[in-house]
Amino acid sequence: MTEPVPSAGLVPSEPASRTEPALSELAPSELAPRATLSSLRPLPEAQTGEPGASSGGGASSGAGALSGGGVASLDALFARTRAEGRAALIGYLPAGYPDLPRSRALFDALIDGGCDAIEVGMPFSDPVLDGPVVATAQRAALAAGFRSRHVFEVVRHIADRGVVPVVMSYINPVLAYGRGSFARDLAASGGAGMITPDLIVDEAAGWLDAADRHGLAPIFLVAPSSTAERIALTTAACRGFVYAASVMGTTGAREAVSAQAPDLVARCREHTRLPVGVGLGVRTGDQAAQIGSFADAVIVGSALVAASSGGPGAVRDLVADLAAGVRRATPSQSGDPA
């Protein structure tokens, strides 16, 4: 994965109230305003993830870890999984796929199977960083009538079930909705934060400010190609956890875990005490166990989207296998970072 660049696709957006201009009203230079490093607002000191009050475990184990949403819910989640001596399992599905009613049933299957947290994907018409499985699902959701406001309905549904929801979105739909409005509505829905795969820290001042004002975790990606300077800059801006993309290229399930993943996690831990989650390519419980031995979270997307063609039962069965994998992992390198 090269350093991400915002793309021009759109998701229909109908915010109830907008305090920022719509994407169509922005000049090209305003779509991704470049900020100098000195202009980035100072972030609070990174969370150390020291164990705090926690409870629960298992499929509905998010209950007790949510702590009202926001960054605190992620801190509580990782404190609990660290106390249990295992990595967290984070599952991804696009909101509204194949349509909203069936989408909710699929998200329920993620919870019932044993996900500790859920990435709620914002469907986007130009998902340049996603492979064919995820891209096709996103476009199907849009064709079925998905609108930006629907993502908050899904987030609220997940939060009401006691599991930590995190949105994953390209930045342009957020700009179209309005960064401040999006952060406000995500926080009000019980969301913990947002992963922005095509937004680099240098250009994130507006989103960082909005996320901080509403207590959300901004989560950025690092890749095997990231330099030490880039990793330091990126992890310093993250809250909640750091997303380590274990391979270069687009999303998609793979036959084997990337050999670069352990090194990337170790390089991140040289710069942060935040948990590090590894994603891209995980498809089996054995792979989840392998990644869970050195990472703080195992992130699974494409395999779950592919399984969703078999309905909620197929998704629940795959998640159960993945959840068993993180629980049998030997945490040889995970735990408290240096």
For the chain, percent helix, then strand, then coil, each to nearest 5? 40, 10, 45
Q: Are strands 217-219 and 297-300 parallel, antiparallel or unpaired?
A: unpaired
Question: Domains in the chain, ordered, with CATH?
Answer: 56-328 (3.20.20.70)
pLDDT per residue over 40-89, tens digit each? 333 333 333 332 322 333 333 443 345 579 999 999 999 999 999 999 99
DSSP letter at 189 equals T
Higher per-residue confidence, 22 vs 185: 185
Calpha distance 75→256 (Å, rounded): 30
Please, where are the H alpha helices in 144-204? 150-160, 171-177, 179-188
pLDDT of residue 114: 98
DSSP letter at 76 equals H
pTM (global) more than 0.85 = no
At residue 160, the 3 state secondary structure works out as: helix
Question: Which residues are catalytic, by number?
Answer: 119, 130
Mean pLDDT value of segment 127-133: 86
Cα angle 225, 228, 233; round to 5: 105
At residue 135, the 3 state secondary structure works out as: helix
Residue 217 in contact with residue 240, Cβ under 8 Å?
Answer: yes
CA distances from 320 to 54, 88, 239 (A): 22, 13, 28
pLDDT band at 110 (very low <50, low <70, confident <90, very high): very high
Q: Is the pLDDT of residue 165 over 90?
A: yes
Calpha distance 330→257 (Å, rounded): 16
Residue 242 in contact with residue 268, Cβ under 8 Å?
Answer: yes
Residues 6+ apart with CB under 8 A from 252: 131, 132, 133, 134, 280, 281, 302
Calpha distance 170→127 (Å, rounded): 8
**Least confident stretch, 26-35, 168-177, 321-330:** 26-35
